[in-house]
Amino acid sequence: MRKIFWPLIVSISLALGILLGGFIVSASYRGKTGLYTNHNKLKLNRLIDFIEQEYVDNVDTDSIVDRTVTTILEQLDPHSIYIAKNELQSVTESMQGSFVGIGINYYYYKDSVAVIKDIKAGPSFKAGIEPGDRILAADGHKLSGKEITSDTIAKYLRGAEGTDVVLDVYRKTTDQNLKITVNRQPIPIKSVDIAFKMSDGRGYIKLNRFSSTTYEEFKEALDKLIKQDISSLVLDLRDNGGGYMEQAIKMLDDLLEKGQVIVKTVNKGGKSTVMKSKGTGLFTEKPLYVLINENSASASEIIAGAIQDNDRGTIVGRRSFGKGLVQRELMLGDGSAIRLTTARYYTPSGRSIQKSYKMGIEEYNNDFRSRYTHGELYAADSIKVADSLQYKTLKGRTVYGGGGIVPDMFVSIGNKHGDDTIVLLMKSGVVSYFVFQELDKQRAMFNKLSKEEVIEYVMSNDKVFKAYVKHLEGNKLFFKLDKRKEIVKRFLVGEFLSQLFSEEEYYTWMLEYDPMIKKIDSKLSK
């Protein structure tokens, strides 16, 4: 029996030894690489378990984990962020470019939903909802009162595509209570705010983000302008914080010659990917101006960098934000997600425009204050650039890396210090709210006015200006505006035109006084 089974026993023993040895080596390797056992993960899991099982008080461990994830990501870089599950839907909708709803802009005004205006040709517009209407209930669910939240409003106004919602509406202009049925439909979240041919023959496109629909919108707008035989194009990327890189790349395919470098990315492993223009030839010959400011970031900077480095057009404005990192969205399995930095990008000349974040996130986010202190918002020679980070454009011009795109033509934020504060104030929601309030007092009268009469109403005397100052003071906002009265009035006119007429009327008015547009005009007149 020994002679028969001994070879079999030896064979099995050798096989088990080989398997066991391989398992130990594999375990050792995995442990070293973090694939098999990670003691830090175990430590965090045990800590959460101890808190749940042993801590003296009841604790919401979900919120602890959320804060922990946020803290961990903050140690990496300013753009690796955590998105909680209750925030993910709105973030996703913003980047997808649409949501399903009834299509209104509204304020929660004096404890009720007050319609500012309908989205043109949207469900509410078609159903007969008017600016100034109060929506008191949706399908019998109350939408007025101090206890109502924005989440409650969204819950009942939004819904599945094609479903009806019955709204209880109070129309102040006619003192009527109405029941209006609105059919919910997809509502676009536009990337292109406006696209039109200016009076001087130039095309103008204002882009507010880079979502999944941005290129489609841009292409439609550019096609329309080309058919109108525009003499040049102004692409306004001011205050555009970026979004999907691939949308910017598609746009540059239409603006650059075939084969020109758009951007290079380098990942953790050092692998580099160079994206080049496919050269559709849609708009490659006529003059191009790209407007940027301190809030133009990410995909906006990819466009500005590619246009500048390839000497395709002129960059106008102030130094851009300085974000040269690429994020990827990763789901965490519980409805939440993170945006993790997975690569760096470089402009065609090879420069990284990522500003330093070695001093921490707070200092990083306070960069605007630093630029103001150093006078950069008012003078081009105050812009800090590193001479060691010089690069050359396609035609040999010197450009700089290390913190944003420095424009070819600098434009100050104002004529004197303090103008920046007023501009920021006048771009804030407080102006829109004030104008809605003024319209709500005399909507029947305002509805009869032409555009020219509205401009005259605001600009010819100080009645509206003084009401605005009083409104600010009532909200504990105290500014000395008398010396900047004309700036304030111009912004007020713009908001009146936007709420009463259209975005095109707003931009037509505002661009007439826009310092960046004036800078381009002065260059062309020489």
| Predicted local distance difference test score (pLDDT) of residue 150 | 87
Q: Which residues lie across from 337 on neighbouring strands? A: 83, 331
Taking alpha carbons only, the member of 408, 193, 194, 411 closest to residue 312 is 408
User: Rounded mean pLDDT of 147-155?
Assistant: 89
pLDDT of 101 higher than 90: yes
How far apart (Å, rounded) are the C-alpha atoms in residues 72 and 115?
42
Q: Which of 236-240, 386-390, 434-438, 464-468 has the lowest mean pLDDT?
A: 386-390
pLDDT, the chain, mean: 90
pLDDT on residue 52: 87
E strand residue ranges, 9-128: 81-83, 98-101, 104-109, 112-118
Q: Which of 323, 322, 303 is nearest to 313 (CA)?
A: 303
**Minimum mean pLDDT range among 40-49, 252-261, 262-271, 398-407:** 40-49
Give the bridge partners for 410, in sequence order: 317
pLDDT of residue 122: 94
Predicted TM-score of the model (pTM): 0.88
d(Cα 487, Cα 359) in Å, to the nearest integer?
Answer: 36
Most confident range (mean pLDDT) of 30-39, 49-58, 66-75, 449-458 is: 449-458
Among 287-291, 354-358, 392-396, which stretch is predicted with the lowest mean pLDDT?
Answer: 354-358
Per-residue model confidence (pLDDT) at position 367: 85
The larger pLDDT score, comparing residue 382 to residue 507, is at: 507
What pLDDT does residue 26 have?
Answer: 46
Q: What's the rounded mean pLDDT across residues 144-163?
A: 91
d(CA 482, CA 154): 40
Flag whether pLDDT at 9 surpasses 70: no
Phi, psi for residue 176 in degrees, rounded to 5: -120, 145
**Mean pLDDT, residues 381-396:** 88
pLDDT at position 5 over 60: no
pLDDT tier for residue 46 given thresholds of 50, 70 and 90: confident
* pLDDT value of position 49: 87
Q: Residue 11: what pLDDT?
A: 54
Q: Which residue has the tokens 């028969």?
A: 4
> H or E element: which one contains 72?
helix 61-74
Q: Which listed residue (264, 323, 489, 519) is catalytic?
A: 323
Q: What is the structure's pLDDT at 27?
A: 45
> Has residue 499 got a pLDDT over 50?
yes
pLDDT tens string 399-443: 999 889 999 999 998 877 778 888 889 998 999 999 999 999 999
pLDDT band at 125 (very low <50, low <70, confident <90, very high): very high
> What percentage of the chain carries pLDDT values higher than 70?
93
Query: How large is the average pLDDT for residues 49-68?
Result: 86
pLDDT at 375 over 90: no
Residue 256 phi/psi, 5-degree rounding, is -110, 160
Q: What is the pLDDT of residue 392?
A: 96
Report whether pLDDT(8) > 70. no
Where is pLDDT greater, at 419 or 176? 176
Confidence at 1, pLDDT banded by 50, 70, 90: very low
Average pLDDT estimate for 46-69: 86
Of residues 387, 296, 301, the one with CA closest to residue 344: 301
Q: Of these residues, 124, 298, 300, 320, which one is catalytic?
A: 298
- What pLDDT shows up at residue 89? 86
pLDDT at 7: 52
The predicted structure's pLDDT at residue 43:
84
Is a pLDDT exceeding 60 seen at residue 143? yes
Tell me the HSE value of 471 on the side-chain side, using a 13 A CA sphere: 18
State in Å, rounded, how far the first CA of the chain is from the last one: 108
Nearest to 322 by CA among 277, 267, 384, 381: 384
pLDDT score recorded for residue 481: 93
How far apart are the C-alpha atoms of 382 and 406, rounded to whole Å? 12
Q: Is the pLDDT score of 10 beyond 80?
A: no
The more confidently predicted of residues 93 and 439 is 439
pLDDT(12) > 60: no
Tokens read off for 154: 């969204």
Q: What is the pLDDT of residue 526?
A: 63
Annotated catalytic, 298?
yes
Instruction: Give me 511's structure tokens.
Output: 């661009």
Helix 503-511 / helix 485-500 crossing angle, nearest 10 deg: 160
- Higher-confidence residue of 372 and 220: namely 220
What secondary structure letter does DSSP report for 453? Answer: H
Interatomic CA distance for residues 428 and 447, integer angstroms: 25
pLDDT digits (tens, 9 = 90+) for 313-351: 999 999 999 999 999 999 998 899 999 999 999 999 999
**Residue 13's pLDDT is what?**
52
The catalytic position among 309, 408, 440, 514 is 309
Average pLDDT over every residue of 92-105: 91
**3 pLDDT exceeds 70?**
no
What Rg value do the Cα atoms of the chain yield, rounded?
29
Q: Please state which of the ranges 33-42, 72-81, 262-271 shows the lowest mean pLDDT.
A: 33-42
Check whether 6 has a pLDDT greater than 90: no
204-213, 226-235, 379-388, 420-429: least confidently modelled range = 379-388
**DSSP letter string over 194-211?**
EEEE-TTS-EEEEE--B-
